Amino acid sequence: MRGRDILLPVKILFIGDIVGEPGRKAVRVLVPRLKLSMGLDVVIANGENSAGGSGITPDTACEIFAAGVDVITTGDHLWDQKEVSQLLLEEARFLRPANYPPGTPGQGSMLLQKEGLAPVGVINLQGRTFMAPLENPFLAAKKEVGRLQSMARVIFVDFHAEATSEKIALARMLDGRVSAVVGTHTHVQTADEQIFEGGTAFLCDAGFTGPHKSVLGRDIDPVIKRFLSSQPQRFPVSKEDVRLQGVVIEVDGASGLAQNIQRVSIPLNEI
């Protein structure tokens, strides 16, 4: 029976950057309902802004996992909360970008195994264009994909990057070798969801999960004041128009190739 089960499709929900308590609430309320209504098998979420809008802590990660998220990915705000060290050292379901230098605590990829499902490889990478100069994500991607391919046909990549060209180029390089490449970081959901010729699903940016009556999740007025005055401001997390944004991808369990991709943007009060 297990061999037959492995051939079943795998339905993955990837959640764009969770911002602060409003974003965590959206995950807490909506994910259990979406798992039932959409028949989700795997839930992956970028959680790097889940603690007060910047960074992540063991407590916020625990809340996200308890809502039904299987894997948490991160990005350039990984180090904003000092408590993240505990997650990096102790939590196997927590990823940081794989293109950090050797010896960095934590892991950049993992193999998720759930009963009755094909194994799912998950890779977290960070871009270098307009961002901190980590090691080459293209070389790291080749290395991690090569390692995971011996264990899983279904492979999901969260590429946390600023430049659209960098995201598209990495996805094109991996076309046919991974199931999906989805971008994070800009907090603006793009409308370019597609499945490439080789069978890899792609979305340039999944958007963000949190308050959308805002500037990328933050209160509007202080951000405007910062642009007007060029003086430092505090940017509290906003609270209104909370949405869960991301993408649902259905993958053939035998080939690891994507069969369908659908963007989601769900208001907290909709279901």
Which positions are catalytic?
77
What DSSP designation does 199 have? S
Q: Which string of b and e fits 79-104 if b means at least 16 CB within 10 Å?
A: ebbeebeebbeebebbbbbbbbeeeb
Q: How far apart are CA 251 and CA 21, in angstroms?
A: 31
Residue of 17, 95, 88 whose CA lies nearest to 51? 17
Q: How far apart are CA 218 and CA 240, in angstroms?
A: 10
Are 97 and 130 in contact by the 8 Å Cβ rule? The answer is no
